[in-house]
Amino acid sequence: MATDLSTVLGIIGNVISILVFASPIKTFIGIVKKKSTENYKAIPYVTTLLSTSLWTFYGALKGADGLLVTTVNAAGVAFQLTYVTLFIIFAPKRKKVTTMKLVGLFNVVFYGSVIGATLLAMHGSLRLTFVGILCVALTIAMYASPLAAMRNVIKTKSVEYMPFLLSFFLFLNAGVWSAYAILVKDIYILVPNGIGFALGTVQLILYGMYKDKSKSTKSTEMMEEEGSAHLVEMRMNGDDEHPKNRGIIKGLSLPKPSLDRQYSVQNILRSLSYGPYDFYPPGALDEDDEVENGKM
């Protein structure tokens, strides 16, 4: 009975994971259409390619018991390899070279070294332990992305750039694989997914706390924009000199935003430079990337 349930959970986990892997497709459709990677970074896709490759190797070492782990991560490798290839094709020269170096370092040298050391220098259960620890360490390190997202939500009091559906599916995915790991008694699958489930729970709680505040902030900004537009229109038409309109114009003249609000807006705008699959805190492009993208 437990075996049948673990198989069902593993299949459900495969489906959800593949949906998560497919989430950047819209981003790359835009990249292909514009023939430019714009402000997106390659490191999330390169590290995810390494992670899925390691988990595929881990599943292969487990044999028949690791079949469901192997299948889902092999699909992940195919998705990430496609994303990395498209990124290299459409990135500006400097970013293209950097991405190729990252792929060579992580996905060729490091991954190749892991396979070589595991198969040539280790035997028996030590192989599974070694690769399992590497998988856990890398997966936990990649949780920098949800932590950065949660920090931004708390700081800006806005969930606009923490999409609900993506957060929900990551939460659901981690929960399903955690349950699967408990049933098959695999500590290496349980640890990172247990952490992911906890972080996903916190993300959903934050979403519930700040979603209404985000709507309120957005409504206020829309009212201010409409007021500013009305003010400009009245002045262009020369209506601002009419006595009846002076009171209206005075009411439409908006105070300068506070420093706190300006700071929050700047943080939100900076987060736009990142793709939905980013694993690192938001930051601006370096100067050389901006020059090559024609932004300076």
**Residues near 89 by Cβ (< 8 Å), separated by ≥ 6?**
none
Largest CA distance in the chain: 90
- pLDDT of 239: 55
C-alpha angle with apex 276: 271 to 278, nearest 5 degrees? 75
User: What average pLDDT does this structure show over 270-296?
Assistant: 40
- Please give the Cα distance from 200 to 76 (Å, whole number): 20
**Residues near 269 by Cβ (< 8 Å), separated by ≥ 6?**
none
- Please give the Cα distance from 288 to 84 (Å, whole number): 21
- Please give the Cα distance from 125 to 127 (Å, whole number): 5
- pLDDT of 237: 57
In three-state form (DSSP H/G/I as H, E/B as E, the rest C), the secondary structure along the chain is CHHHHHHHHHHHHHHHHHHHHCCCHHHHHHHHHHCCCCCCCCHHHHHHHHHHHHHHHHHHHHHHHHHHHHHHHHHHHHHHHHHHHHHHHHCCHHHHHHHHHHHHHHHHHHHHHHHHHHHHHCCCHHHHHHHHHHHHHHHHHCCHHHHHHHHHHHHHCCCCCCCHHHHHHHHHHHHHHHHHHHHHCCHHHHHHHHHHHHHHHHHHHHHHHHHHHHHHHHHHHHHHHHHHHHHHHHHHCCHHHCHHHHHHHHHHCCCCCCHHHHHHHHHHHHHCCCCCCCCCCCCCCCHHHHHHCCCC
| Share above pLDDT 70 across residues of the chain, in percent, rounded to a whole number | 71
- Please give the Cα distance from 15 to 47 (Å, whole number): 21
Quick: pLDDT tens for 96-148.
999 999 999 999 999 999 999 999 999 999 999 999 999 999 998 887 777 87
**Cβ–Cβ under 8 Å, residues 180 and 189:** yes
Q: What is the pTM (predicted TM-score) of this model?
A: 0.71
Torsion of CA 36, 39, 259, 159, to 10 degrees: 100
With 0-12 / 13-18 / 19 or more C-beta atoms within 10 angstroms meaning exposed / middle / buried, residue 110 is middle
Quick: pLDDT tens for 10-33.
999 999 999 999 989 999 999 999
Quick: pLDDT tens for 65-96.
999 999 999 999 999 999 999 999 999 999 99
Q: From its phi and psi, is residue 124 left (phi > 0), alpha (psi between -120 and 50) or beta? A: left
**Cβ–Cβ under 8 Å, residues 71 and 60:** no
Most confident of 102-116, 148-162, 243-257, 272-286: 102-116
